């Protein structure tokens, strides 16, 4: 009887655990908002948990993939290169945790999948001040036998291109990352160790701590954008400074000229001294 009772309790606990897991999965919502972008190459994604946005990301992604096709001698292999643009009709999956987040993007019946991984600094996790989040891993899964982006006859076999231990988009916790400039990331492929290159541009991301639903927190701009902004504003600042300096010089000259005009003028020709007095 004790055995049956213990088994019943264990069964109930298992059912409760499965129900809890099912409830958590059900509470995860994904949104493809790319249709809101005026740029046809820009995608907008959101993951919501318990009715609140826990991850938002918008960017344009272009992937250069080298692959092999049979040579003309039908013995060797030649290397070609395919350019893959992240499409708008992308299937989204992802997870949000306290210190880790993931965004998985798949298209063409999952023949292609781009996975982005984010993490918070683990040092002094009890404090938010001084902490950062970053993109620490990228993974791209693809199949050269899929003909949309690859020539017929390409060497078959599903491949994975990965880059570990990244420190991309390092941003203070509680802020979003923004970068208009193009960022280049190299991924190592299992296909004969070829290098796949991912280009990200017009990026705006926040995988943690969104304060409002579907609204980014304060932006933290990338260094490239900061330099560009400085280059654009520096001539204006220099022009204004020069203009102010010219106004000051003219004002001083005017005051000096007015003061000296009221003073008695001493003739330079000593022969004229006799007329003075």
Same domain for 51 and 39? yes
Same domain for 75 and 191? yes
Domain limits for position 34? 22-221
Q: Could you report the per-residue pLDDT of 228-266, keeping only the tens digit for each?
A: 655 556 466 656 666 766 777 777 767 766 777 666 555
Same domain for 176 and 241? no
- Whether 212 shows a pLDDT value over 50: the answer reads yes
Q: Could you report the per-residue pLDDT of 56-114, keeping only the tens digit for each?
A: 999 999 999 999 988 888 778 888 999 999 999 999 999 999 999 999 999 999 999 99
Residue 129, pLDDT score: 60
Same domain for 190 and 236? no
Whether the Cβ atoms of residue 58 and residue 205 lie closer than 8 Å to each other: yes
Same domain for 74 and 183? yes
Same domain for 106 and 171? yes
14 is a domain residue:
no
* Number of domains, the chain: 2
* Alpha carbon distances (Å) from 136 to 3, 170, 259, 266: 48, 9, 70, 81
| This model's pTM is above 0.75 | no
Please give the span between the terminal C-alpha atoms of the chain, in angstroms, as a whole number: 136
């Amino acid at each position: 009887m004790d055995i049956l009772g213990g088994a019943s309790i264990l069964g109930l606990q298992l059912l409760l655990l499965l129900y809890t897991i099912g409830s958590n999965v059900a509470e995860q919502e994904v949104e493809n908002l790319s249709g809101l972008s005026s740029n046809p190459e820009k995608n907008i994604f959101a993951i919501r948990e318990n009715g609140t946005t826990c991850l938002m990301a918008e960017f344009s992604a272009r992937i250069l993939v080298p692959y092999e096709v049979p040579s003309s001698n039908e013995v060797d292999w030649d290397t070609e290169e395919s350019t893959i643009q992240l499409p708008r009709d992308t299937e989204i999956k992802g997870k949000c945790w306290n210190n880790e987040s993931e965004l998985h993007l798949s298209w063409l019946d999952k023949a292609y999948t781009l996975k982005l991984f984010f993490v918070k600094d683990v040092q002094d996790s009890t404090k938010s001040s001084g902490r950062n989040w970053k993109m620490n891993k990228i993974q791209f899964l693809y199949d050269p036998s899929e003909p949309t982006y690859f020539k017929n006859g390409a060497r078959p076999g599903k491949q994975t291109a990965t880059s570990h231990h990244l420190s991309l988009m390092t941003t203070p916790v509680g802020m979003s990352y923004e970068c208009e400039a193009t960022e280049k990331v190299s991924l190592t492929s299992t296909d004969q160790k070829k290098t796949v290159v991912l280009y990200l541009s017009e990026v705006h991301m926040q995988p943690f701590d969104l304060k409002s639903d579907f609204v980014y927190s304060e932006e933290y701009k990338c260094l490239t954008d900061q330099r560009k902004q400085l280059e654009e504003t520096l001539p204006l600042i220099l022009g204004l400074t020069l203009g102010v300096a010219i106004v000051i010089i003219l004002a001083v000259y005017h005051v000096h000229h007015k003061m000296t005009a009221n003073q008695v003028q001493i003739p330079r020709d000593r022969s004229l001294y006799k007329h003075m007095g």
